[in-house]
Structure 1
Amino acid sequence: MMEKLKIGISIGDVNGIGLEIIIKTLADSKIFDYCTPIVYGHTKVASFYRRATEVNELNFNVINEASQALPKRANMINCWNEDVKIEPGVFNKEIGKYAFLSLERATNDLLAGNIDALVTAPINKDTIQSEEFNFPGHTEYLQHRGNAADSLMFLVSDTLRVGVVTGHIPIAKVSESITTEKILSKLRLMDASLRTDFCVRKPKIAVLGLNPHASDNGLIGNEEADTITPAIEEARSNDILAMGPYAADGFFANGTYLQFDAVLAMYHDQGLIPFKQIAFESGVNFTAGLSFVRTSPDHGTAFDIAGKNKASEISFREALFAAIHIVKHRRETAELNEHPLAFTKLSRDRD
C-alpha cells in the first residue's frame, strides 16, 4: 500500500466542467486508497454540480485547514463566503475571481507544505484576469509563485511526452522568442524531469524544427541551423541525449516519437495538436521544473458541454494519479541520492 498523500484540487472556472470532472473522479471510493483529496472551492457550488452529474453518493467533508482532512473522504475547504450565481457554459468575467480564490488558497497550502501536490481543473484564461492574476495561464502563475527561473509545460501520457519551448504567446512572436539559450534551458528541465519525476535513467529526447521540413537545409528559414542545432550540440556536450531537429509532420505521422522518451516542440500548437490527437483522453499537463508538483487535465473549460453531464473525467483522473506518482518518484530519487548503494538493486528491478 502506497503512503497516503494529501492532494489539493483547485476547481477552475465555476461555469466550466471543472467540478463535474472532480466529482466524477472522487465518486470512485478507490481513489481514497491512494490519496486524501482536498478540494478548494465551495460546498454550494459542489452541490449544484453533484445534482447535475447525478452523483448523489458523494458527500464532502467540510474543513477549515488541510490538516483536518479525513483520509477516507473527499474533503472541501470553502474559499469564499458569498453565494455564486452558477451558469454552466456562460462566459462571465465576474465569476473568474472564484477560480483565482480557489487557486490562490490551494497554492498557498502547497507552498506551505500543507498538501503534497496540486491538481488544477481548467480555468478560462480571460475571465480569471485581475490585478492579482496577470498571467497567460496556470504555468506562468505557478512559476511566479514558486520563484522558479524557468519551467516547462510538459504534456505526458503512457506513449508520448511533449514539452514546448514557447507557451502561451502569439504565433507571430514565436520565431523571435526562440533562442539557443531558451532551448537549452528547456532541454535541461526536460532531462532532469525525466530522470527525477519519471525515473528514466538515460533519457532520449527528440527536438523538433521550427520551419516546414525542418527548413530543408536552409531553403525554408535559418532557425534550425542558427539556433536549434547549436542548442542540440551544446546539450549533447553536457550529457543530454538530444537529437534532431526533426520535421514535425513526418515525425508524428510515421511514429518516430515512439523511439524517444520525450519530444521538445518549438511552440504550443506544434506539440499540443499531435499530443491531443494521440493521447487526448489520457493526457496530463505537468509543470516541470518547479520545486512542487502540479498537474492538470490536458483540456480546457469546455463551456459547450458544461453542466450537461457529458464531460469525461478520464484526463482529470490521470492527472490525479500522475501527481501521486511524481511525488513518489521525487521522494524515491531523493532517498537514492542519500543512499546511492540502493540504486543498483532498484535499477536492476526496473530493467
Structure 2
Amino acid sequence: MSEKLKVGITIGDVNGIGLEVIIKTLANNRILDFFTPIVYGNTKVASFHRKAIGITDFSFNVINSADQASEKRPNMINCWHEDVKIMLGESNSIGGKYAFLSLEKATDDLIQGKIDVLITAPINKHNIQQDEFNFPGHTEYIQSKTGSKDALMFMISEELKIGVVTGHIPVKEIAENITKETILAKLRLMHNSLKNDFWVQKPKIAVLGLNPHAGDNGLIGSEDQDIVIPAIEEANEMDVFAFGPYPADGFFASDNYKNFDGVLAMYHDQGLIPFKQLAFHNGVNFTAGLPVIRTSPDHGTGYDIAGKNIASEQSFKEAIFAAVHIAKRRKEQDDLLANPLKIRKLTKDRD
C-alpha cells in the first residue's frame, strides 16, 4: 500500500444527492494532500449534477483504470458511455441500474487491490434490485463479493460507535434471528474492530436488551434472560468485555453510552435512531469484519433535496477520512506483527 491511498468512490443513485456531496467534497483541492480520489461513474452525469448545484470551477480527470489516477486531480472512471436521463428526486429503475454499475466496478477493483478503500454514496435499496444485486444493501453485497461469512454494520463517530445484531430485516423477524451464537459473533467482530481498526486495547462493549426494560426479569419477554445474558457471560469468558443488557431508552438518556468504547444493539432502529440523533452530519457507516475497507455516509439518497445545493457533504467527508485512518491503522498493525521488536518497544514505551 502506497503512502498516499487510492480512495474509490461510488456515485450511488444518479437521481439523488450522491454526486452533489462527492463534488462538494472533492472541490476543495486541499483534500488531495491526503489521498487520491477515484470516482466510479460517468462524466456526463457528473457534469449534470455540477451544473445543477452551480459549481463551475471543477472537473474530473478521466481515466480508464485505477493505475492511471493522477494524485493532483479528482479522477473518474467512466463505467458506462451511453446517455442517461436523470430525473432528480425520482426513484426509478435508471437510478438503480447505474448505481449498480458504479458499485460493481468499484467493488471489483477494491477486491483486486487496485484501490485501497471504498466509499459508497447512497443507493435506493428497492430500485437497485436486479439479477446481479439481490441484497438488502451495500453491506450484504460486499460481504458476499468478498466471500466473508459475517460482517458487522458498525456506525461510528467521535461520540458513539454502535453495531447491530440484526440489520435490514422486517421487525417481525427480529426476535427469531436473535440467538446466543449471533450475538457472540457480532461481539467478536466489534471487539476485533475496536482493537485493530481503532486501536482500543481493551474494548468495553455495552449490550442493549431486546425487550423494553431489557425484559424486566422475564416479565416482558424471556429473550434477554435466556439468550442475551448467556451470550454476554460467554463473551467475557473469551476475554471480550461485554456488559448488560441495558434498557435502550435509559441507556442513552443517561449518557451511559459515554462509558463504553462500543455499543451492540439488537436491531437496526434501536441502534441507528440514537446514533443519527447524536452524530448526524458526522456519522459514518463502516462495514467491520471484512478483509476490505468500506464506509459510507449515514444518510440516504436525499431525493427531496436533490439538485437544490443544500445537501451537506460533512458525513461523506467523514466517511472518506474514517476509511483512510482505518487503512493506515491496519497497515501499521501488519507492520508491527511483521516486526516483533517494534511491538516490544511500543509496549515498553507505554509502560
Deviation track 1:239-298 (CA, whole Å, cap 9, x = no partner) reads 000001000000001100000000000000000000000001100000001000000000
Shift of 1:64: 0.3
Amino acid across the alignment from 1:310: I
Aligned to 1:132: 132
Aligned to 1:164: 164
Aligned to 1:174: 174
Aligned to 2:315: 315
Aligned to 1:204: 204
- In structure 2, C-alpha distance between the alignment counterparts of 1:241 and 1:59, rounded to whole Å: 49
Aligned to 2:324: 324
- In structure 2, C-alpha distance between the alignment counterparts of 1:148 and 1:93, rounded to whole Å: 29
Aligned to 1:222: 222
Q: 1:268 to 1:36 in 2, by over 3 A?
A: same
Amino acid across the alignment from 2:289: G
**1:175-194 alignment, distance < 5 Å:** 175-194=175-194
Shift of 1:350: 7.6
- In structure 2, C-alpha distance between the alignment counterparts of 1:216 and 1:349, rounded to whole Å: 47
Partner of 2:304: helix, strand, or coil?
A: coil
Partner of 1:341: helix, strand, or coil?
A: helix
Shift of 1:94: 3.2
- In structure 2, C-alpha distance between the alignment counterparts of 1:195 and 1:347, rounded to whole Å: 15
Amino acid across the alignment from 1:178: I
Aligned to 1:4: 4
Amino acid across the alignment from 2:93: K
> Please, which runs of 5 or more residues in structure 1 have no aligned partner?
none
Q: 1:23 to 1:178 in 2, by over 3 A?
A: same
Between the aligned residues of both structures, percent identity stands at 66
Shift of 1:95: 2.9
Aligned to 1:15: 15
Partner of 2:191: helix, strand, or coil?
A: helix
Shift of 1:334: 1.0
Partner of 2:228: helix, strand, or coil?
A: helix
> TM-score if structure 1 supplies the norm length?
0.98
- In structure 1, C-alpha distance between the alignment counterparts of 2:309 and 2:349, rounded to whole Å: 43
Deviation track 1:54-97 (CA, whole Å, cap 9, x = no partner) reads 22222100000000000011000000111001111011123311
Shift of 1:27: 0.5
Partner of 1:327: helix, strand, or coil?
A: helix
> Please, which runs of 5 or more residues in structure 2 have no aligned partner?
none
Aligned to 1:73: 73
Shift of 1:347: 5.6
Aligned to 2:238: 238
Amino acid across the alignment from 1:196: N
Shift of 1:348: 7.1
Deviation track 1:173-212 (CA, whole Å, cap 9, x = no partner) reads 0000010000000001000000111111111100000000
- In structure 1, C-alpha distance between the alignment counterparts of 2:115 and 2:347, rounded to whole Å: 30
Which stretch shows the higher mean deviation, 232-241 or 47-56?
47-56
- In structure 2, C-alpha distance between the alignment counterparts of 1:350 and 1:280, rounded to whole Å: 35
Aligned to 1:274: 274
Shift of 1:344: 4.8
Q: 1:161 to 1:93 in 2, by over 3 A?
A: same
- In structure 2, C-alpha distance between the alignment counterparts of 1:89 and 1:345, rounded to whole Å: 55
Shift of 1:53: 2.0
Amino acid across the alignment from 1:92: N
Aligned to 1:303: 303
Amino acid across the alignment from 2:137: G
- In structure 1, C-alpha distance between the alignment counterparts of 2:278 and 2:312, rounded to whole Å: 17
Partner of 2:305: helix, strand, or coil?
A: coil
Aligned to 2:105: 105
- In structure 1, C-alpha distance between the alignment counterparts of 2:247 and 2:340, rounded to whole Å: 40
Which stretch shows the higher mean deviation, 335-344 or 175-184?
335-344
Cα contact 1:93–1:126 (8 A) shared by 2:
no
Amino acid across the alignment from 1:29: N
Aligned to 2:121: 121
Cα contact 1:3–1:34 (8 A) shared by 2:
no
Deviation track 1:120-140 (CA, whole Å, cap 9, x = no partner) reads 000000110000000000000
Shift of 1:341: 3.1
Aligned to 1:55: 55
Partner of 1:54: helix, strand, or coil?
A: coil
Once superposed, what is the RMSD of the aligned Cα atoms?
Answer: 1.3
Q: 1:220 to 1:147 in 2, by over 3 A?
A: same
> TM-score if structure 2 supplies the norm length?
0.98
- In structure 1, C-alpha distance between the alignment counterparts of 2:185 and 2:10, rounded to whole Å: 29
Equivalenced residue count is 350
Aligned to 1:37: 37
Cα contact 1:24–1:53 (8 A) shared by 2:
no
Partner of 1:304: helix, strand, or coil?
A: helix
Q: 1:349 to 1:12 in 2, by over 3 A?
A: farther
